[in-house]
Amino acid sequence: MPAHLLQEKVSGSYTPTTTVTTPHSRLLQSGEGKLEKTPLPAEEDIRPEMKDDIYDPSYQDEEGPRPKLEFVWRNIILMALLHVGALYGITLVPTCKFRTWLWGIFYYFVSALGITAGAHRLWSHRSYKARLPLRFFLIIANTMAFQNDVFEWARDHRAHHKFSETNADPHNSRRGFFFSHVGWLLVRKHPAVKQKGALLDLSDLKAEKLVMFQRRYYKPAVLLMCFILPTLVPWYFWGETFQHSLYVATFLRYAVVLNATWLVNSAAHMYGYRPYDKNINSRENVLVSLGAVGEGFHNYHHSFPYDYSASEYRWHINFTTFFIDCMAVLGLAYDRKKISKAAILARIKRTGDGSYKSG
Ligand SMILES: [Zn+2]
Ligand SMILES: [Zn+2]
């Protein structure tokens, strides 16, 4: 069957969602318990259960000097060692066994899905729903990726969307490429991140036993899934040298997944067009999409964070959407939220930078 027909067939099974394209308002509880009406942008209500990943333009940085940077030396040393190990791993790639090479790639894809389909599209944005076997797979894949537990990842990520490009954004891209790429993990959080992050609604995550279970046993689980298992498998099962296993399948693969994810925060907030919203910093970046298995359509994603594809399109340079659609065929993923074409075109007309090419 041609790929596009297969795609139609697989993605044709959406649960219908309503896209509201006219401006509407929502009721907010004010301090005194009174209800007041707040206008919201159009095309929003396809995921009514969650609001704390929607950009809040009313939050602005306070004037005044920036607090002094406090380095977290433990992280700096560990990150430096990991990257030196990964560079050495590159020199070992040509002498690796073919199966070790495949194992590293397999581990790369599975752990990337643990971030993109798991921590990001499922747990941070609730852009689709997943049944227990899929959530179980995703939490294991997420542990293989070792990028903080899902609870912490989703909290940081909701703050990133809600307070984009301010001091309350954990990887504020206004502080430069290096800071938004990795620097934010090497210094203490800005006080605004803690202050605003603490106010986010994370009740859905706290109520999910699997997420809390991962958080509780995170350290030993990461040690096993990100370091011990990927090193031991090639060494034990096909007689790879311990050195090749450790430096290629573990250090190099882990560093590649980390950097691919970080590029979404750095490069995709700096380089590319803004066809959907020229007023925000995030951009469409095909190269980032390639490395981060579909997460580089970042101007779209910040414009419509509740779209399960994180892109206007479905399988176009988007392995994560392909994966979620396959899970939907198996009945493990459902209620995938997708923005209607009409709402997208209306947004392009209203706020786009004019670079949009239809067709
Ligand atoms: Zn972003
Ligand atoms: Zn996001």
The domain total for the chain is 1
In whole angstroms, what is the distance from residue 234 CA to residue 341 CA? 47
Distance from Cα 111 to the centre of ligand 1, integer Å: 20
Does a structural domain hold residue 346?
A: yes
Q: Which ligand is nearest to the CA of 269?
A: 1
Q: How many residues does the chain have?
A: 359
Q: What is the pLDDT at residue 43? A: 57
Distance from Cα 159 to the centre of ligand 2, integer Å: 10
Structure tokens at 297: 């359509």
Distance from Cα 93 to the centre of ligand 2, integer Å: 33
Lowest mean pLDDT, pick from 48-57, 167-176, 239-248: 48-57
pLDDT digits 0-9 by tens, 4-18: 545 544 444 444 343
Closest CA to 98 of 243, 239, 309, 300: 239
Does a structural domain hold residue 39?
A: no
Write out the H or E segment, with its range, that includes residue 8: helix 3-11
Does a structural domain hold residue 340?
A: yes
Lowest mean pLDDT, pick from 64-73, 187-196, 319-328: 64-73
Label residue 184 exposed, middle or buried (CB < 10 Å: 0-12, 13-18, 19+): buried
Distance from Cα 157 to the centre of ligand 2, integer Å: 6
pLDDT digits 0-9 by tens, 171-205: 999 999 999 999 999 999 999 999 999 999 999 99
Distance from Cα 171 to the centre of ligand 1, integer Å: 9
Does a structural domain hold residue 323?
A: yes
Q: Which ligand is nearest to the CA of 158?
A: 2
Q: What is the pLDDT at residue 359? A: 55
Q: Which ligand is nearest to the CA of 296?
A: 1
Distance from Cα 30 to the centre of ligand 2, integer Å: 27
Has residue 147 got a pLDDT over 90?
yes
Does a structural domain hold residue 267?
A: yes
Q: What is the pLDDT at residue 47? A: 87
pLDDT digits 0-9 by tens, 105-137: 999 999 999 999 999 999 999 999 999 999 999
Q: Which of 59-73, 132-146, 282-296 has the highest mean pLDDT?
A: 132-146
Label residue 110 exposed, middle or buried (CB < 10 Å: 0-12, 13-18, 19+): middle
Q: What is the DSSP string of 21-48?
A: -S-EEEEEE-TTS-EEEEEE-SS-TT-T
In whole angstroms, what is the distance from residue 216 CA to residue 82 CA? 25
Q: Which ligand is nearest to the CA of 262?
A: 1
Distance from Cα 211 to the centre of ligand 2, integer Å: 18
Q: Which ligand is nearest to the CA of 306?
A: 2
Q: What is the pLDDT at residue 44? A: 56
Q: What is the pLDDT at residue 45? A: 72
What is the extent of the structural domain holding 233? 73-351
Distance from Cα 26 to the centre of ligand 1, integer Å: 25
Has residue 36 got a pLDDT over 50?
no
pLDDT digits 0-9 by tens, 329-342: 999 999 999 999 99
Distance from Cα 298 to the centre of ligand 1, integer Å: 6
pLDDT confidence bin for 67, thresholds 50/70/90 = confident
Q: What is the pLDDT at residue 357? A: 82
Q: What is the DSSP string of 216-231?
A: HTHHHHHIIIIIIHHH
- For residue 221, CA distances in Å to 107, 214, 263 come to 16, 8, 26
Q: Which ligand is nearest to the CA of 160?
A: 1
| DSSP-assigned beta bridge partners for residue 213 | none
Q: What is the pLDDT at residue 64? A: 80
Distance from Cα 76 to the centre of ligand 1, integer Å: 23
Q: Which residue has the higher pLDDT, 23 or 271?
A: 271
- For residue 121, CA distances in Å to 70, 219, 297, 323 come to 32, 24, 13, 12
Does a structural domain hold residue 198?
A: yes
Angle between helices 73-92 and 253-265 (to 10 degrees): 120
- What percent of the chain is modeled with pLDDT above 90? 81
Does a structural domain hold residue 110?
A: yes
Distance from Cα 301 to the centre of ligand 2, integer Å: 6
Does a structural domain hold residue 207?
A: yes
